[in-house]
Chain A
């Protein structure tokens, strides 16, 4: 079965520190991979997506993610955390030939300390 696992339901970093949010997927076919961010009481906003082009994907707000097929991973990083990055982050996958429906991970809450 296809699934997404986000390691760590809560991650806390200091302002200016590296942000690393982990995502692993399980699939027998090549996936499309997405990271979404959700601020309190708001909808999901697309941060970045991987759709079989370059394996290193750059997104909005300084975030990037690298697709590693051998590790079935798509970890999200940002070199320097900002207070405004505090939010819930979701990794999601979909599959070609499918309806495009997204399968989401459980989410990771990012806390940024001053």
Chain B
């Protein structure tokens, strides 16, 4: 079946602009996670959704970052007033339930110039 998909695959934006990154999880997966992977590092947790609600947003670096999952399926990560330090690969993962194995999408590579 279809895996986790993320769009766009690459996004280049200017400093100060607003960006949206989309994640389509595996159908039926209730848990959805966002991670950020900087060059040469392991992924770092950003936010976790169980259904429509953000159950844990402790990894969001500041209030320029927020995410939504209005219908409990597709999620959008939104970054306001982008900074060069936001450049990274943003990964989305879904899971059939909290604590189960996570299936990752290919990521969106964000470059802020």
Contact = CB atoms under 8 A, between A and B. Distances in A.
Interface in A54-105: 90, 92, 94, 96, 98-105
Contacts of A46: 101-103
A66 to B, nearest CB: 19
A36 B55 CA distance: 24
B4 A102 contact: no
Nearest to A97: B99
A104 B4 contact: no
Contacts, number: 62
B106 A100 contact: no
Contact of B48 (A45, A99, A103, A104): A99
Interface residues of B, number: 28
Nearest to A44: B104
Given A44-B91, A100-B95, A105 B42 contact: yes
B42 A100 contact: no
Given A43-B4, A43-B104, A43-B106, A99 B55 contact: yes
Interface string B80-108: 00000000000101010011111111110
B45 A43 contact: no
Contact of B107 (A34, A43, A49, A90): A43
Nearest to A34: B101
A45 B103 CA distance: 7
B101 to A, nearest CB: 5
Contacts of B56: 99, 101
A94 B93 CA distance: 14
A34, A94, A101, A103 pick with most chain B CB within 10 angstroms? A101
Interface of B: 4, 31, 33, 35, 40-45, 48, 50, 55-56, 59, 91, 93, 95, 98-107
Lowest 6 A-B CB distances belong to which pairs? Answer: A104-B42, A44-B104, A43-B104, A100-B99, A99-B56, A43-B106
